[in-house]
Amino acid sequence: MISPALYLFPVPLDNDAPVGRSLPSWNVEPLREIRHFVVENVRSARRFLKKCDRTIDIGLIEFTVLDEHTAPEDVPAMLRPLEEGKPMGVISEAGCPAVADPGADLVAVAQRRGLKVVPLVGPSSILLALMGSGFNGQSFAFNGYLPIHQPQRGAKLKEMERRIVKERQTQIFIETPYRNNRLIAELASTLPGDRLLCVASDLTGEKERIVTLPLSRWSKEKLDFDKIPAIFLLF
């Protein structure tokens, strides 16, 4: 029997890949015992649980949604089962809960209340991209989405360029998939040509691709990343 704690369950990045390809078998053990989950999406969470173990009775499980639309004042009450001595789980849409994910708000409340938090091993697209990029892994920053409008967008690019030059800090960010190619073209026309750009797409999937090139070469290579989930890194 597992101890009462907030268990953070990573989810495979590729929905079509077998769970065992990116998650250790130990993760399944606590899944079988937990009856209270905080999830980003109920439907995908149910599908994930069934992929892990078909014998899990979904009908016995209580799901509470925590997503980008959840009001901050509603988050603390989600921990009531744990405060009553029952183990709880957090499941995100993909990758690691609480890393660039709404689950971070729940973990913050749990820590403030002195509740036990157990992060489990699994894939992080941010770290996998960094591992495959060849860039500085000692100092890096994840910036999320870049601002859409100017002058904020241009200012953000200048700030990232400054950090690369002054601090040798790898800059990591994401874009809406249908704008991936436009982003690459924008970076190539805005930043120095010798600046290195890595694009990591479909990580852990069958069409996984991790490409690192100077910005001056990206337009010549004619690589197509549109409509494919990707992580971008500059160094």
CATH assignment at residue 179: 3.30.950.10
Residue 105's domain comprises 6-119
**CATH code: domain of residue 76:** 3.40.1010.10
66 and 155: one domain?
no
Radius of gyration of the chain (CA): 20
- Span 102-145, pLDDT tens digits: 999 999 999 999 999 999 999 999 999 999 999 999 999 999 99
Is 1 a domain residue? Answer: no
Residue ending a domain, choose from 80, 98, 119? 119
pLDDT greater than 90 at residue 87: yes
Does the residue 42 lie in any domain? Answer: yes
Domain count across the chain: 2
Is the domain of 19 the same as that of 94?
yes
Residue 64 in any domain: the answer is: yes
Confidence of residue 222 (pLDDT cuts 50, 70, 90): confident
- The whole-chain average pLDDT of the chain stands at 96
Q: Are residues 215 and 182 in the same domain?
A: yes
Question: What residues contact residue 191 under an 8 Å CB cut-off, 6+ apart?
Answer: 157, 161, 215, 234
31 lies in some domain: yes
This prediction has a pTM of 0.91
Q: Is the pLDDT of residue 217 over 90?
A: yes
Last residue of a domain, one of 85, 119, 153: 119
- End residue of a domain, out of 119, 138, 166: 119
State residue 18's pLDDT score. 84
Question: Exposed/middle/buried for 201, CB within 10 Å: 0-12, 13-18, 19+?
Answer: buried
Whether residues 110 and 133 fall in one domain: no
* Three-state helix/strand/coil letters over the chain: CCCCCEEEECECCCCCCCHHHCCCHHHHHHHHHCCEEEECCHHHHHHHHHHHCCCCCHHHCEEEECCCCCCHHHCHHHHHHHHCCCCEEEECCCECCCCCCCHHHHHHHHHHCCCCEEECCCCCHHHHHHHHHCCCCCCEEEEEECCCCCCHHHHHHHHHHHHHHHHCCEEEEECCHHHHHHHHHHHHHHCCCCCEEEEEECCCCCCCEEEEEEHHHHHHHCCCCCCCCEEEEEC
Is 172 inside any structural domain? yes
Query: Residues 138-190: pLDDT tens digits?
Result: 999 999 999 999 999 999 999 999 999 999 999 999 999 999 999 999 999 99
pLDDT value, residue 20: 86
Which residues make beta-bridge pairs with 200? Answer: 210, 231
Which pLDDT band holds residue 204 (cuts at 50, 70, 90)? Answer: very high
Q: Each residue of 13-62: pLDDT tens digit?
A: 998 888 888 899 999 999 999 999 999 999 999 999 999 999 999 999 99
pLDDT of residue 185: 96
pLDDT at site 15: 84
Interatomic CA distance for residues 133 and 222, integer angstroms:
19
| Whole-angstrom distance, CA of residue 134 vs CA of residue 3 | 40
Task: Answer yes or no: do 130 and 113 share one domain.
Answer: no
Q: Is 158 a domain residue?
A: yes
Same domain, 103 and 143: no
Same domain, 90 and 173: no
